[in-house]
Structure 1
Amino acid sequence: MIRVLLAEDQALVLGALSALLSLEDDLEVVGGAADGEQALDLALTLRPDVLVTDIEMPRLSGLDLAAKLRERLPQLRVIIVTTFARSGYLRRALEVGARGYLLKDAPAAELAGAIRRVHAGGRAIDPSLAESAWEDVSPLTERERQVLVAAETGASTAAIAQALRLSEGTVRNYLSEAIGKLGAGSRVEAARAARDKGWL
C-alpha cells in the first residue's frame, strides 16, 4: 500500500483528489493539508511515501515545502500538481527534489499512475512541459531572484537590504542586473516578467 499525503489550499480540490485516489486499491490517503506549514508538520508526523502538493499555497509554497522535506525526509517522494504550465516552475520543482510535475487538468488515472511511478523511483513529468523546461532557462542568479521576489511586494531598497542582510548598494546592483537581463523598464515590470515565466 502506498501512503499518500495531499497538500492543497482549495478545500473542494483537496476533497476531490482524496476521494479519487481512495478508489485505487493500492493507494491510501493518510492526510490532507490546507497550507504548506500544515503539510510539513503532517509529513514529519505521518511519514507518508508520497506527497502530492500544489505549488502556490499559504504559509509555505509547494516548492519551499519540497525543499524542506528533501532535507528532513529524503526518502519522501514529492509530486507537484498545479495549474501553472510554465517550464520555469518545472525546473525549480526539479531543483528542489520533486519527482513529479503534473497539471491539474490531467485525468485522475494519470495522477494515480504518477504516484506509483514516483514511488517506484521514477519520474512523472507532464510531457508538454518536459522538453521546454530545458530550453527556457532563467537568466537570473539566485540572489537576483530573491531580490526580485522582495521587490515584487513593493518593498523599498532599504527594506529589501535589511531583509536579505545586504547593503542597499548591493540590492540596487542586483535589481539593475535583473532588470537588464529581463529587458524590463522597472523592478516591478522585471518581477512581473519573471513571475510570468515561472522564475520567481
Structure 2
Amino acid sequence: MIRILLADDQALVRGALSALLGLERDMEVVAEVGTGDDVLSAAERTRPDIALLDVQMPGLNGIDAAARLRQAVPSCRVIICTTFGRPGYLSRAMAAGVAGFVVKESSPESLVDAVRRVHGGLRVVDPTLAAESLVNGNSPLSEREREILSAASDGATVAELARRLNLSEGTVRNKISSAIGKTGTRTRAEAIRTAEENGWL
C-alpha cells in the first residue's frame, strides 16, 4: 500500500485528490493538511511514502516544505502538484530534492501513474514544463536577491527590508538594483512581477 500525504490550501482540491487516490487499490491517503507549516508534523506522525504538495500555500511554500521533509523524513518522496507550472518552480523543486513535478491540468491517470512511478524510485516531470525549463534556463537571481525581492513583494521600504532581514540599507539597495538588472526590468515592482511569473520567488 502506498501511503500518501496531501498538502493543498484549497479544501475542494484536496478533497478531490483524496477521493481520486482513494479509489486506487494500492493507495491510501493517510494525512491531509492545508498549509505548508503543517506538512512536517503530519509526515512525522503518519510516515507517508509519498507527499503530494502544492507550491503556493499559507506559511511554508511547497518547495521549502519539501526540502525540510527530505531532511526530517528521508523515506518520503515528494511530488509537487501545482496549478503554477513555472520553469523556475521546477528548477527550485529539483534542487530541493523533489522526485516528481506535475501540473493540476494533468489527467487523473497521469497523476496516479506519477505516484506509482515515484514510489518505485523514478523521477517524473511534466514534459511541457521540462522543455520550457531547458529553454528558459535557471533563475539569474542569487539567493540573497531572491530573499530580498520576496520580502519586498508587500511594498516594504528599503529601511523596513533592512530591519526585517538584518541587512544594511546599502546592501538592500544594491541587491534590488542587481535584481532589476538581471531581470531586464526598470523598477523593483517590475522585477518582482517578472520573478514571480517565472517562478523564481
Shift of 1:134: 2.9
Partner residue, 1:141: 142
Q: Is the 8 A contact 1:152 1:187 kept in 2?
A: no
Q: Deviations over 1:42-68 (max 9, x none)?
A: 011111000001110111211111011
Q: How far apart in 1 are the matches of 2:121 and 2:163?
A: 42
| 2:93 aligned counterpart, secondary structure | helix
Q: How far apart in 1 are the matches of 2:49 and 2:152?
A: 37
Partner residue, 2:168: 167
Matched-pair identity in %: 53
> Is 2:198 aligned against 1:197?
yes
Partner residue, 1:122: 122
| 2:81 aligned counterpart, secondary structure | strand
Partner residue, 1:107: 107
**Residue type at the aligned position of 1:144:** E
Q: Aligned ranges for residues 74-85 of structure 1 at < 5 Å?
A: 74-85=74-85
Q: What is the TM-score normalised by the length of structure 1?
A: 0.96
Q: What is the TM-score normalised by the length of structure 2?
A: 0.96
Shift of 1:110: 1.0
**Residue type at the aligned position of 2:56:** E
Quote the RMSD (CA, aligned, Å): 1.0
Q: How far apart in 2 are the matches of 1:40 and 1:69?
A: 6
Q: Deviations over 1:108-145 (max 9, x none)?
A: 11111111111111111101111221332211111111
Moved beyond 3 Å, runs of 4+: none
**Residue type at the aligned position of 2:105:** D
Structure 1 unaligned regions, length at least 5: none
Q: How far apart in 2 are the matches of 1:145 and 1:53?
A: 22
Q: How far apart in 1 are the matches of 2:94 and 2:164?
A: 27
